Amino acid sequence: MSVAARGKAPHVLYVAWGFPPCRGGGVYRALATTNALAAAGFRVTVLTATRETFLRYTGADTSLEDRVDPSIEVVRVPFEWPVLETDLRRWGAGRAFFPRLWQKYRKRLDVKDFPEVGYGPWKGPLEDAARALHADDPVDLVVASANPNVDFTVAEYLHRTAGVPYVMDYRDAWTLDVFTGEQLHPDDSRVAELERTYVEGAREVWFVNEPIRAWHQQRYPAAADRMHVVANGYDPEFAPRARLEPPPAERPLTFGYIGTVSPKVPLEPFAEGWSLARGRTPELAGARAQIWGYLGFYATPSPALQRIVDAHADSGLEYAGPLPKQEVRGAYDTFDALLLILGKGRYVTSGKVFEYTASALPIVSVHDPGNAASDILRDYPLWFPVADLEPTSVAAAVEAAAHAARHATPGQRAACAEFARGYSRDLQLRPRMGALAAGLGHRVDEGVPS
C-alpha cells in the first residue's frame, strides 16, 4: 500500500545526478523543483551523487546546500568517475602502461548496463538504492531529471517492478542535438529504444522550451499530450534587483556574463567584436567585459578558452572566476549591461536568459539569431541581438547596448522589469505541481496554488 493510500502526504522520489553542492547550470532547476515539491506538501527524497563527486571533479558551490528545504531527505549514491581520476596512486597498471587500450576498455565497460559513457555504471547502484528506499517507505511518484540520462532508469525501474508513475524532466535532450538539430542516435540504437520505452510509459514529460517539446511530440505522437514546457525561469531569491537608473556618468561601463563558458559558446567572435567596439566608441572608453563562472565544464579553466580571454585583456576582457550562487545578486549590482553568449542552436535557450531579464539592464545577445533564446527576448525592451557572429556585427550590438546603458529612460527599464515577472521559476513550476498533486489525490498546501 502506498504512502498516499495510508493517508500521509505522497512520497516523491527525485532523481538527479547533479544536486547541491554540484555547481552545474542544471542544479538550480533541480533545487527549485525539489523545494517546490516540498512546499506543495509532498514528502521528498532525493537520489544524487556523493558530495565528493563534485568537490573532486566538477567544482562545487557548497552555499547551495543551505538552500535545500530542510524537510527533504538527500540520499547520496556512490559514483565512480575513473576517466577523470588524476591521482596516479589510484591508477591500475593497465591504465598507466597502456592508456589507449584502457580508454577503449573503459568505454565498453561504461555502456555495458546503460548506453551512456561515464555514467552507465551508475545504473546498478541507483536501482539498488531506489529498491531499498521503496521497500522502507513506498514511493508514490518518481521525478527523474536528466542529464545524465541514467537518472531515468530509476523511474522506469520502479514503474516496471512496482507500478510507480513517473515524470521525465529533460534539462536538455537525449536523442536530439540541440545545437545542430540533428538526431544523435539512429532509430534502431539502444538509446532510441530506451527513450521510446521511457517516454511512452511516463505520466508527464517536461522540456525547457517549445522547440524541444515540438521535436519530441513529432517523434512520439502517442505521448504528445503528456509533454509540457517547464521553462527554467529565474529564482527570485537569487535574481538581480531591477536597475531603474543609469550608472554614474563619470564611471566606465561594466558588461557582465554569468555562467559556464563551454566550447560551444562563441567566445572568440565576441572577444573580437568587443575589442573592435571598445577601440572606436567613446561610450566604451575604459569599459570592462567580465566573465564570471567557469571556463569549460570542470574546476580547472580550459586552457584554450583562457587564451582567448588573455589575448583581449588589453581591451578590458576579464575572466573573474567562479561565482557562488549566493553572491550572484551582488555581481549583477556591478554590471551596467549583460552579455548573453550562447552556442548556436534552434533549441538552445539557457536558464540565464530569464535571470538576465530580471535585471532590467540592456542585454547583448551574441548567438545565432535562430536560437530559441531569441523567442524569449524578442519583446524585451532593451534587447540588442547581433545580426550574425562577425566582429562588426558584435561590435554594433555592444555599442547600441552601451548607449542604452547611459540613456535608457526609467520607463524603458520599468518595462523590462515588468516583462521579467512572468518568468520567475515558481510560476513556471506551479501548474505542474498542481497537476501532479491532482494525479495522486493530494491537495496542494495553501500558499502554493496550482
Fold classification of 254-421 (topology level): Rossmann fold (3.40.50)
pLDDT in tens, 363-414: 999 998 988 889 899 999 999 999 999 999 999 999 999 999 999 999 999 9
Query: Does residue 3 have a pLDDT over 60?
Result: no
pLDDT in tens, 276-333: 999 999 999 999 999 999 888 766 788 999 999 999 999 999 999 988 877 889 999 9
Can you tell me whether residue 222 is helix, strand or coil? helix
pLDDT in tens, 81-121: 877 777 788 888 888 888 889 889 889 988 999 999 999 99
Residue 436 phi/psi, 5° resolution? -65, -40
Residue 409, CA distances (Å) to 34, 96, 361, 400, 413 in order: 39, 63, 11, 14, 6
Percentage above 70 pLDDT, the chain:
96
Residue 27, CA distances (Å) to 108, 193, 332, 351 in order: 29, 27, 20, 11
Q: Are 146 and 156 in contact (CB under 8 A)?
A: no
- 4-231+425-439 and 254-421: identical CATH topology: yes
The structure's pTM equals: 0.81
- Of 323, 290, 296, 325, the residue nearest 309 (C-alpha): 290
Can you tell me whether residue 133 is helix, strand or coil? helix
Fill in the amino acid letter for 435.
A
Residues 42-60 have a mean pLDDT of 92
Q: Are 349 and 208 in contact (CB under 8 A)?
A: yes
User: Over the chain, what is the mean pLDDT?
Assistant: 91
Tell me the C-alpha distance between 114 and 196, whole Å: 15
Name the residue with cell 566550447: 263
Report domain extents, the chain. Answer: 4-231+425-439, 254-421
Residue 7 pLDDT class (50, 70, 90 cuts)? low
Residues 150-178 have a mean pLDDT of 95
- Of 121, 167, 126, the residue nearest 429 (C-alpha): 167
DSSP string covering 306-343, please?
HHHHHHTGGGTEEEEE---GGGHHHHHTT-SEEEEE--
pLDDT in tens, 348-364: 777 789 999 999 999 99
Percentage above 90 pLDDT, the chain:
71
pLDDT in tens, 245-285: 999 999 999 999 998 898 889 999 999 999 999 999 999 99
- What would be the CATH architecture of the domain defined by 4-231+425-439? 3-Layer(aba) Sandwich (3.40)
